[in-house]
Amino acid sequence: MQLCLSHPTEGYYMKPTHPVFGARGDFITSPEISQVFGELVGIWLLSQYLSSGRARKIRIVELGPGRGTLMDDILRTLAQLPASRSIGISVHLVESSASLQGIQEQQFRPWATKHNIQQHWYSSLDEIAADEESYTMLIAHEFFDALPFHLLEKTHKGWQEVMISSIPDPSAPTILRPGDISSPTAARPSASLDVSTLSTSPHRFRPVLSSEPSPVSMLLSSSSPRFQRLPVGSRIEVSPSSFKIARKVGELVGGDTLGCALVVDYGDDKAFGNSFRAFKNHKITDPFHLPGECDLTANVDFAYLREAIGDTATCHGPLTQHAFLTRMGLQARVQALERAATSEERREAIRSATGRLIDLTGMGKEYKVLGITPNAAGDVWPFIEEEAQKPSESNSGVKSSS
């Protein structure tokens, strides 16, 4: 997965010829749909800064900033609020793609020239150190879903890893059946299932179960107590990269009011064993077809992220995107935009776009929002109601494919 997405010359995100995002690309994200998403994220980040009670400069960190649309909306929101105008702001972007870095640099150039907001690029979050002189606002939107994972299956021998075979086998059966892939409602909400790409035509790569438990499978299966209770036949997707990065996020924003963070992605507060999929032209396709030409993704186990963060910081949620945006005042912002619109056509476009963000049959339900604050922060809006009603068993849920 990492090779297909991030190979220096052939990786999906690394090729400048790939539009990737938007109508011409393979999928579309919430910030690309409506500016309201980024504005409300910016308001939440600023509210946490103000509640920290410390007049420090602001450092905004984004993991996987794409075309820079979300960061641009956040900066515009902060610039319009009096509380942020006298604060020094710097932007720190974790982006491994040189072509995307070029797009981002063009997007943020006006902020550097007109507002003296400096931008810095990194290839890894490990390159960003904790800064007690700054308040760190971190955002990871559709970042963790693209991180590599290991697929484990519990057998009578223990946990064994599902590997990828590169042995050509013209007589092989269907690599993935439509029933082997998660439903379209669990995918990027802009996509629809293209069953034709899941035909009986075999590809060079195919999944095979390892013959015995391996050191990797034994280590990862023990990385969460939730996994131990699963029955034989269960499968789990486990991402050590996600665990490591989530831990680093907690260290950057936790401690003595160092900052705050939001993780927005599709997934749930449980593990998945059957969510790996690919996107091409806004349709789900076989992930083993056209490696390097498709977006690869898997649902995020938010419980695993919370376990990784541990006591370095406090996690809030996850909430559905619908709950987060509506509680943050989406309707009031939509009404303001409608009043400023110059035509009914524009007003309808605003309503349609924001309605898509909170649609409970799509993005509003499938996308989750996790808030992260220092341990001393206490209750945090809009996560308060969810935390009070959250049953203890929700932290240990696992979705298996047995």
Q: Does one domain contain both 126 and 6?
A: yes
**Does residue 338 or residue 100 have the better pLDDT?**
338
Q: What angle do CA 60, 118, 67 make, to 5 degrees?
A: 65
Q: Flag whether 295 is in a domain.
A: no
Task: Tell me the mean pLDDT in the region 275-286.
Answer: 77
| Other residues' Cβ atoms within 10 Å of the Cβ of residue 209 | 11
Residues 6 or more apart whose CB falls under 8 angstroms from that of 155 comprise 209, 232, 233
What pLDDT sits at residue 190? 41
Q: 342 pLDDT exceeds 70?
A: yes
Task: Tell me the mean pLDDT in the region 31-55.
Answer: 91
Q: Does one domain contain both 10 and 123?
A: yes
Q: Flag whether 283 is in a domain.
A: no
Spatial contact of 160 and 210, defined as CB atoms under 8 Å apart: yes
What are the tokens at 351?
């309503």
Q: Does one domain contain both 26 and 125?
A: yes
Q: Nearest CA to 372 among 312, 327, 329?
A: 312
Q: Does one domain contain both 335 and 248?
A: yes
Tens digit of pLDDT for each residue in 186-232? 335 444 333 333 334 455 777 899 999 999 999 999 999 999 999 99
Q: Flag whether 318 is in a domain.
A: yes
Q: Does one domain contain both 260 and 122?
A: yes
Query: Percent of the chain at pLDDT above 70?
Result: 77
Q: 23 pLDDT exceeds 80?
A: no
Instruction: Pick the last residue of a domain from 190, 212, 236.
Output: 236
Q: Does one domain contain both 30 and 140?
A: yes
By CB neighbour count within 10 A (0-12 exposed, 13-18 middle, 19+ buried), where does 312 fall?
buried
What pLDDT sits at residue 367? 96
Q: Does one domain contain both 178 and 81?
A: no
Q: Flag whether 185 is in a domain.
A: yes
CA gap 111, 20 in Å, rounded: 24
Q: 349 pLDDT exceeds 50?
A: yes
What are the tokens at 223?
């990385």
Task: Tell me the mean pLDDT in the region 2-21.
Answer: 59
CA gap 188, 304 in Å, rounded: 21
Tell me the pLDDT of the chain averaged across its residues: 83
Q: Does one domain contain both 252 and 376?
A: yes
Q: Does one domain contain both 227 and 260?
A: no
Instruction: Pick the last residue of a domain from 189, 215, 236.
Output: 236
**Does residue 372 or residue 293 have the better pLDDT?**
372
380 band by pLDDT with thresholds 50, 70 and 90: very high
Q: 179 pLDDT exceeds 60?
A: no
Q: Does one domain contain both 90 and 204?
A: no
What pLDDT sits at residue 18? 53
Instruction: Pick the last residue of a domain from 236, 259, 288.
Output: 236
* Structural domain range at position 258: 2-147+239-269+300-396
- Domains identified in the chain, total number: 2
CA gap 289, 298 in Å, rounded: 16
Using DSSP's 3-state secondary structure scheme, residue 92 falls into: strand
What pLDDT sits at residue 187? 38
Q: Flag whether 292 is in a domain.
A: no
Q: 138 pLDDT exceeds 80?
A: yes
Q: What is the CA radius of gyration of the chain?
A: 21
Q: Does one domain contain both 206 and 221?
A: yes
CATH of the domain at 8: 3.40.50.150
Q: Flag whether 291 is in a domain.
A: no
Q: What angle do CA 90, 44, 270 make, to 5 degrees?
A: 105
CA gap 243, 167 in Å, rounded: 31
DSSP string of 277-318, one letter each residue? EEEETTEEE-TTSSTTTSEEE--EEHHHHHHHHGGGSEEEEE
Tens digit of pLDDT for each residue in 287-313? 777 676 677 889 999 999 999 999 999
Q: Nearest CA to 398 among 237, 185, 243, 245?
A: 237
Q: Flag whether 286 is in a domain.
A: no
Q: Flag whether 285 is in a domain.
A: no
Q: Does one domain contain both 172 and 214?
A: yes
